[in-house]
């Protein structure tokens, strides 16, 4: 910080501190919504209303389902995170006929062309899901970087049914966010969209055009 | 570069806008849609009442402790590796942004939507200094191509229709013919901007909420351009007003439940992007530098008046303009300055001064629709009335340009009115006189013509109510 900047700071703070004191009002009670046994149904319905696809899968079946979903969409390449558990499952189960796997295994500077122009789809995990708004909670990590869920035209996210909550307020409390915020935390509630031209919805303006959610149910459950 | 001095000319511009049927149709259609969608979101009045009471209290609480929270925000952001800058004026803020860009050797900049950078006229400043800023929000991109300013704080090109945008794109985007197909127009913008993102040496964004407790910046958006601007380039510069701070992370939940629902009638925006620092060692993407520029530009003066400071609670949802019978008819450009509609009518005169935007508090019917829909309960009509008073009879030096509308004719007029209304004899005489001669007075008579310019001159009754009552046999009392 330069001296000029330090004095701008001091002058702004001095003006604010010399203003008449006002009482801090109490926060009236507010309870975020709860959905009980409707949680999963609400999560799915809200995502679908936002133009996302939701597929119920099991832990054993999801790579196979993903292969068929991407096959139907004609994706030629799939960006994945090789060092994650999901990435290992994916590469083990991948067949030669599926989209070519592209590993996000180096920094963006060395992978820009692939990320910006070549990857048709990407697979990430989600840390949770929020029923109220149909949102995925993404905490990108060194192994599963931020741009995976943003640059390719199709984003596929794996979320465990056990990680669904009713509301953002509940998620923040239950997962102890206030003391451990990552570099970037995201809520994703559908594919990229815009209504800037005559309030007409159009998808995929900058981010993914399609959001595919693989909702992983408990072991042995039949979707 | 100092922004050129501008003076509000609401009346003049309103006449032009009112006679532009295309503009009026564009706004009418958009506002009707936004109002309907918002109403559907808040169909449960009890939920709305408790949620907005909570939202208002969170914002009021943050303002009550603003200096303390700003210091906490700065400390926590610094600990997270974010560099914090303070700017008293828009000129200072522009210089800080340029300084960061020069330091990084950046001449190609991609921008996410930010009203504060509009307030700073940052793009013009950067262009004058050899930096190319490209707006990436579709609406902002459209108006940048058109060389215009936003006419709405959430939907910047709401004043344009498909045909106008189709013509603009055909003209400005290489290889694109005329098409009114919205998917094709959108895809063309994606193609045109993809390379700009990849090529940008820095990204500039606004901030929706700055969280003191965790040192986090929250940005909401639907397109993903905000995420790209803050993730792909090696440098990210966030710019925000000093009032955007909130205390706790948990405060985000109710505010997020208010903002998109009030703004566009969506339960949530597609992306909620919470940034708590630059790329850490081992991470593969994200900017290597993150800066936050905190802009004052008159806000600390607004803060000095406990009533007017309620203006600073605003979370920029635009519900007030979407529901304003004046804004809907005249559109955003009529307001000359960055923030239109009811929030602009109270914010602009305070930031720019009543001497150059003193007509804005009068561009209102005081119908109260804005206060009714405000998710943080800003008493906009009360503040409009207060600013009208400050313009003629300043209570203190609370507002820049206070007293600038006071005229001798005005004060003489009111003194006469006071004398008339405190003396029954004088009042009787004057009303009889008007009954006799009032109708002979031409509508263009001095002083009267201010009123009759936009209204029909009233016809004075031959007999006053008092006279009629007396004739009917009612006693004087």
Contact assignment for A112 to B198 by CB distance below 8 Å: yes
Picking from A17, A24, A194, the nearest residue to B222 by CB comes out as A194
Rounded to two decimals, the pTM is: 0.94
What average pLDDT does range B404-424 have in this prediction?
90
Q: Is the dihedral of CA B165, B171, B175, B180 positive or negative?
A: positive
- Structural domain boundaries of chain B? 1-41+313-406, 68-297, 409-471
What whole-number distance in Å separates Cα of residue B177 and Cα of residue B193?
17
Q: Is B60 on the interface with A (CB under 8 A)?
A: yes
Residue of A26, A135, A206 lying closest to B190 (CB–CB): A206
Q: What is the CATH number of domain A37-194+201-216?
A: 3.40.50.10420
Mean pLDDT of chain B: 94
Q: Which residue has the higher pLDDT, B286 or B477?
A: B286
| Strand partners of residue B293 | B85, B239
8 Å CB contact of A169 and B250: yes
Topology annotation, domain B68-297: Rossmann fold (3.40.50)
Whether pLDDT at A2 is above 90:
no
User: Which residues from chain A sit within 8 angstroms of residue B182, using beta carbons?
Assistant: 197-198, 200, 202
Above 90 in pLDDT, residue B45?
A: yes
| Neighbouring-strand partners of residue B476 | none
**pLDDT higher than 90, residue B435:** no
Q: What is the pLDDT of residues A76-111, one digit of tens each?
A: 999 999 999 999 999 999 988 899 999 999 999 999
Mean pLDDT of chain A: 94
* B68-84 confidence digits (pLDDT tens): 999 999 999 999 999 99
Work out the average pLDDT over A67-82.
97
- The SS3 of residue B445 is coil
SS (H, E, C) B94-120: HHHHHHHHHHHCCCEEEECCCHHHHHC
| Residue of higher predicted confidence among A23 and B62 | B62
Domain boundaries, chain A: 37-194+201-216
Residues on chain A touching B65 (C-beta within 8 angstroms): 24
CB distance from A176 to chain B under 8 Å? no
pLDDT in tens, B464-476: 888 888 899 887 6
State residue A220's pLDDT score: 56
SS3 per residue for chain A: CCHHHHHHHHHHHHHHHHCCCCCCCCCCCCCCCCCHHHHHHHHHHHHHHCCCEEEEECCCCHHHHHHHHHHHHCCCEEEECCCCHHHHHHHHHCCCCCCEEEECCCCHHHHHHHHHHHCCEEEEECCEEECCCCEEEECCCCCCCHHHHCCCCEEEEEEEHHHEECCHHHHHHHCCHHHCCCCEEEEECCCCEECCCCCCCEECCCCCCEEEEEEECCCCCCC
Q: Is A223 a residue whose pLDDT tops 60?
A: no
Q: Which range has the worst mean pLDDT, B291-305, B371-385, B425-439?
A: B425-439
């Amino acid at each position: 910080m330069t001296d000029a900047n330090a004095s701008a700071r001091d002058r702004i703070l001095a003006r604010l501190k010399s203003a008449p004191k006002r009482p801090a009002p109490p926060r009236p009670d507010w309870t975020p919504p709860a959905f009980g046994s409707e949680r999963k149904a609400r999560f799915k319905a809200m995502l679908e209303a936002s133009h996302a696809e939701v597929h119920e899968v099991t832990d054993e079946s999801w790579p196979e389902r993903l292969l068929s979903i991407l096959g139907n969409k004609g994706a030629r390449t799939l960006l994945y995170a090789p060092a994650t558990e999901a990435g290992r499952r994916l590469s083990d189960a991948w067949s030669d006929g599926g989209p070519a796997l592209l590993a996000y295994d180096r920094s963006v500077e060395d992978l820009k062309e692939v990320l910006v122009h070549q990857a048709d789809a990407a697979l990430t995990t989600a840390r949770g899901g929020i029923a109220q708004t149909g949102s995925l909670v993404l905490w990108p990590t060194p192994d599963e970087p931020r741009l995976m869920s943003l640059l390719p035209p199709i984003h596929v996210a794996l979320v465990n049914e056990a990680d669904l909550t009713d509301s953002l307020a509940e998620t923040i409390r239950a997962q102890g966010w206030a003391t451990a915020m990552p570099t970037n935390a995201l809520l994703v509630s559908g594919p990229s969209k815009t209504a800037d031209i005559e309030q007409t919805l159009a998808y995929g303006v900058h981010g993914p055009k399609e959001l595919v959610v693989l909702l992983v149910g408990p072991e042995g459950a039949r979707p | 570069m100092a922004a050129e001095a501008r003076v509000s000319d609401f009346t003049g511009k309103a006449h032009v806008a009112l006679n532009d049927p295309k503009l009026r149709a564009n706004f009418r259609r958009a506002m009707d849609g936004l109002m309907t969608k918002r109403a559907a979101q808040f169909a449960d009045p009890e939920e709305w009442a408790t949620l907005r009471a909570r939202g208002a209290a969170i914002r009021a609480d943050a303002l009550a402790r603003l200096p303390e929270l700003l210091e906490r925000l700065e400390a926590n952001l610094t600990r997270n590796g974010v560099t914090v800058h303070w700017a008293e004026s828009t000129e200072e803020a522009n210089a800080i942004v340029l300084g960061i860009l020069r330091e990084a050797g950046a001449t190609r900049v991609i921008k996410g939507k930010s009203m504060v950078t509009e307030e700073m006229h940052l793009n013009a400043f950067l262009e004058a200094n050899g930096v190319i800023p490209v707006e990436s929000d579709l609406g902002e991109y459209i108006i940048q191509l058109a060389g215009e300013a936003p006419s709405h704080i959430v939907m910047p090109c709401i004043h344009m229709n498909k045909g106008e945008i189709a013509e603009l794109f055909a003209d400005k985007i290489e290889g694109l013919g005329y098409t009114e197909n919205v998917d094709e127009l959108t895809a063309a913008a994606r193609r045109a901007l993809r390379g700009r993102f990849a090529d940008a040496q820095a990204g500039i964004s606004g901030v929706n909420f700055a969280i003191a407790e965790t040192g986090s910046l929250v940005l909401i958006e639907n397109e993903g351009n905000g995420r790209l601007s803050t993730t792909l380039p090696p440098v990210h510069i966030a710019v925000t007003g000093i009032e955007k701070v909130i205390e706790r992370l948990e405060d985000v939940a109710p505010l997020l439940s208010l903002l998109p629902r009030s703004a566009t009638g969506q339960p949530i925006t597609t992306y909620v992007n919470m940034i708590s620092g630059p790329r850490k060692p081992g991470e593969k993407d994200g900017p290597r530098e993150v800066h936050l520029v905190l802009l004052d530009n008159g806000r600390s003066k607004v803060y000095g008046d406990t009533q007017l400071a309620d203006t600073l609670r605003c979370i920029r949802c635009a519900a007030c303009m979407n529901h304003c019978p004046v804004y809907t008819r005249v559109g955003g450009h009529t307001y000359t300055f960055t923030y239109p509609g009811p929030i602009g009518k109270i914010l602009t005169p305070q930031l720019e001064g009543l001497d150059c935007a003193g007509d804005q508090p009068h561009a209102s019917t005081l119908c109260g629709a804005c206060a009714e829909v405000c998710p943080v309960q800003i008493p906009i009509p009360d503040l409009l009335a207060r600013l009208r008073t400050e313009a003629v009879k300043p209570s203190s030096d609370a507002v820049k340009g206070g007293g600038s509308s006071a005229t001798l004719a005005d004060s003489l007029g009111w003194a006469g009115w006071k004398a008339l209304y405190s003396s029954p004899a004088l009042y009787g005489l004057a009303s009889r006189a008007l009954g006799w001669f009032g109708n002979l007075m031409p509508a263009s008579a001095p002083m009267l013509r201010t009123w009759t310019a936009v209204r029909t001159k009233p016809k004075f009754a031959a007999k006053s109510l008092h006279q009629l009552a007396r004739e009917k046999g009612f006693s004087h009392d």
